[in-house]
Chain A
């Protein structure tokens, strides 16, 4: 079974530029998550999708970040314009059923996209 795929793996941009990350979850997984992991910290949830609907985006900086999962499969996370403090690893994860699968359901993570904003 293929894992969660993410691209690009690395990205360097200048502040005020825009950037987009792509994620393809494990086939058949209903729930997709985007996390931000700043160096030296644990991952922080940015947004959670159940199929193509948003379940939780309370920690997404909506003035500059946006995400979509139009067909309930792959997803794109965009930052526009980027700030220095956006430098981080952006992790995508998926789970089979989300909350309907129970609170102990495992989330499977992709390798992440490392973003450096100069």
Chain B
């Protein structure tokens, strides 16, 4: 079975500070990993995904994530937070051979001026 744990349901950073959103996964087979962002009253939008190519993945809006197999992690980072980054972020995993995309509980990111 596959699962995702997002550490911290709520993260608050100052504008211009580093953003770090944590995601750990569990999968018995090689996983495909995704980060989605959800703005208020909107659907989910793909930020980036890991599909077994480069372990450091760059996405939209200056976000990136690094796949670390030894730590079973796929943390999302952005060097400098912007007010427009305030949203809910979801990590998701899909194991090879699995039909289903499994989402974590989400992390709400707040940016302080």
A residues adjacent to B (C-beta < 8 A): 4, 40-45, 48, 55-56, 91, 93, 99, 102-104, 106-112, 114
B82-113 Cβ-contact flags toward A at 8 Å (1 or 0): 00000000101011111111011110000000
Q: How far is the CA of A56 from the CA of B101 in the complex (A)?
A: 11
Instruction: Decide: A43 near B51, CB < 8 A? Known: A56-B100, A103-B94.
Output: no
- The closest CB in chain A to the CB of B99 belongs to A56
Most chain B beta carbons < 10 A, residue from A43, A55, A114: A43
Q: How far is the CA of A23 from the CA of B50 in the complex (A)?
A: 28
Q: How far is the CA of A44 from the CA of B4 in the complex (A)?
A: 12
Rounded to whole Å, the gap between the CB of A81 and the closest CB of chain B is 27
B42 touches A111 (CB 8 A): yes
* Chain A residues, CB < 8 A from B92: 42
B49 touches A106 (CB 8 A): yes
B43 touches A103 (CB 8 A): no
A109 touches B32 (CB 8 A): no
B45 touches A104 (CB 8 A): no
Instruction: Decide: A40 near B105, CB < 8 A? Known: A56-B99, A103-B32, A104-B49.
Output: yes
